[in-house]
Amino acid sequence: MKIAIGSDHRGFEAKEQIKAIVHQLGYEGIDFGTTSNNPVDYPDVAYLAAMAVSKKQADKAILICGTGIGMCIAANKIKGIRAALCNDELSAQISRHHNDANILCISGDMTGEVLLRKMVEVWLSTEFSGGRHKRRVEKIIAIEEGKDPSEVTNE
């Protein structure tokens, strides 16, 4: 599995840790930057990594900025992206299990090394459950396509 990984300057240290975790777990990490603590604009990095997922050049992505909020907002503007801002193991797990999130967004400022590892491990190992959640994800896709989600049936 290919994992796109990107950060702004405030998420740089966490990104470097995540790259190592992804590699240790046996996945291929694709680094979309940044390459230092020098200031960069998070939408630029979010766009590149989210487009890689959207175009199926990467299976999933992990994005890090100071709070994770900016990366999440920017990534969710790309068609086909379901980016989730997660702050703990449970939210990371549920974002995959219930929402089939394909991008994990994390706060570089507020997430310690131990929690960071646990979140990445659980997020990458959790499968989408389908079932009633599949219908809900299909409704999200309908909204993205400019359709009324209430018209999505149980089929």
In order of their start, the domains of the chain are 2-129 (3.40.1400.10)
Confidence band, pLDDT 50/70/90 cuts, at residue 59:
very high
Q: Does 98 participate in catalysis according to the annotation?
A: yes
- Reduced to 3 states (helix: H, G, I; strand: E, B; else coil), residue 4 is strand
Active-site hit among 23, 72, 97, 98: 98
Coil/strand/helix, residue 73 = helix
DSSP per-residue letters across 19-38 = HHHHHHTTPEEEE----SSS
How far apart CA 58 and CA 56 sit, in angstroms, is 5
* Identity at 146, one-letter amino acid code: G
Q: What's the whole-number average pLDDT of the chain? A: 97
Of 9, 23, 65, 72, catalytic: 65
Rounded Cα distance between 71 and 64, Å, is 7
Q: With pLDDT > 90 as the criterion, what percentage of the chain qualifies?
A: 97
pLDDT at 155 over 80: no
The question of whether 65 is a catalytic residue gets the answer: yes
Residue whose tokens read 């570089």 = 108
* pLDDT tens by residue, 80-98: 999 999 999 999 999 999 9
**Per-residue b or e along 119-131, where b marks 16 or more CB atoms closer than 10 Å to that residue's CB:** bbbbbbebebeee
Burial class (CB in 10 A: 0-12, 13-18, 19+), 101: buried
13: closest CA among 58, 61, 70, 66?
A: 66
State pLDDT tens for residues 124-139. 999 999 999 999 999 9
* Predicted pLDDT at 153: 82
Whether the per-residue pLDDT at 10 is higher than 80: the answer is yes
